[in-house]
């Protein structure tokens, strides 16, 4: 049974020596295959929500498309476990697939160490906005609160701190693709924004961030060593271990500054309608 990304089931709970059946939810996981111009391109293990965003964002971050205008048709296949995508032009499907350290075995056709254009941005973020945006982001992760085992990603306005969009998936890399796909679908700029993520920041994720030209990444946990190297090379501000009153800056510290915290509250940065 599916409930918008969650699967309901009965399981056995043990409490000391006593056990009893319980009803609950766990994250839903499915394999979705993307077909590009009539040919299978890649199969992704993911949470089967926001599938159009995932497909569009994956194609963008892999360099297959440049904008939503490149997509002529995007529709579900008859078996419901694939998406059929037709572009406005012919492409040669990439054959090199790199299995990344994503929690579901992420896939990329790119060498994550390839040269990216450095992220140019005049964005600067006050220190209190870093922690408040992370609190607001974590509070807004609905699937995570209900079931755990889910990663989230959000894009925020670097000036106001307001969350522009928020997505969830079992894969950290999938969540970034969904953010990119959402922005392309809604023609929402990604430049000069702040990206928030709940999980570890890997080299693959910094590669996607540089492709999206997002200048600031804020994570609740740690980056990897290669992610830090790439962030420094590509001028990405990389922040990790973000808590209520503290965080670590691993790259691009010049984009963070101190200012009074009188107006800093998590409620200020929530998604519209929350």
Q: Which domains does the chain have, with CATH numbers?
A: 30-108 (3.10.20.10), 125-269 (3.40.140.10)
Check pLDDT > 80 for residue 97. no
Residue of 198, 142, 154, 145 lying closest to 172 (CA atoms): 198
Q: Tell me the percentage of the chain whose pLDDT exceeds 70.
A: 85
The tokens describing 191, both together, are 């430049």
Q: pLDDT tens digits, residue range 121-152?
A: 999 999 999 999 999 999 999 999 999 999 99
CA pair distance 169, 205, nearest whole angstrom: 14
Instruction: Answer yes or no: are the C-beta atoms of 251 and 237 closer than 8 Å.
Output: yes
pLDDT of residue 266: 59
* Percent with pLDDT over 90 in the chain: 80
Model's pTM, two decimal places? 0.89
Active-site residue list: 103
What tens digit of pLDDT does each residue of 159-213 get?
Answer: 999 999 999 999 999 999 999 999 999 999 999 999 999 999 999 999 999 999 9
Residues 6 or more apart whose Cβ sits within 8 Å of residue 12: 19, 20, 21, 22
Q: What is the pLDDT of residues 2-40, one digit of tens each?
A: 458 999 999 999 999 999 999 999 999 999 999 999 999
Q: Given this model, what pLDDT does residue 96 score?
A: 41
The answer on pLDDT for 70 being more than 90 is yes
């Amino acid at each position: 049974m599916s409930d918008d990304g969650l699967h309901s089931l009965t399981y056995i709970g043990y409490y000391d020596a006593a056990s009893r059946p319980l009803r609950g939810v766990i994250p839903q996981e499915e394999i979705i295959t993307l077909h590009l111009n009539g040919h299978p391109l890649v199969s992704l293990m993911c949470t089967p929500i926001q599938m159009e965003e995932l497909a569009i964002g994956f194609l963008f971050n892999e360099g297959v498309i440049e904008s939503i205008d490149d997509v002529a048709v995007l529709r579900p296949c008859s078996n419901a476990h694939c998406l059929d995508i037709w572009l406005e032009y012919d492409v040669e499907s990439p054959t090199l697939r790199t299995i990344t350290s994503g929690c579901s075995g992420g896939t990329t056709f790119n060498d994550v160490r390839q040269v990216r254009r450095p992220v140019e941005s005049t964005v600067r973020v006050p220190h209190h906005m870093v922690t408040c945006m992370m609190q607001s982001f974590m509070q807004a992760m609905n699937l995570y609160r209900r079931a755990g085992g889910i990663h989230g990603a959000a894009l925020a306005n670097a000036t106001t701190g307001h969350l522009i969009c928020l997505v969830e998936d079992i894969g950290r890399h999938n969540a970034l693709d969904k953010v990119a796909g959402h922005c392309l679908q809604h023609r929402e700029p990604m430049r000069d924004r702040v990206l928030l993520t709940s999980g570890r920041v890997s080299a693959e994720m910094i590669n996607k961030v540089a492709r999206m030209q997002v200048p600031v990444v804020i994570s609740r946990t740690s980056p990897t060593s290669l992610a830090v190297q790439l962030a420094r090379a590509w001028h990405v501000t990389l922040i990790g271990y973000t808590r209520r009153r503290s965080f670590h800056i691993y790259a691009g510290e010049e984009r963070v500054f101190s200012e009074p915290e009188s107006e800093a509250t998590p409620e200020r940065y929530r998604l519209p309608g929350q």
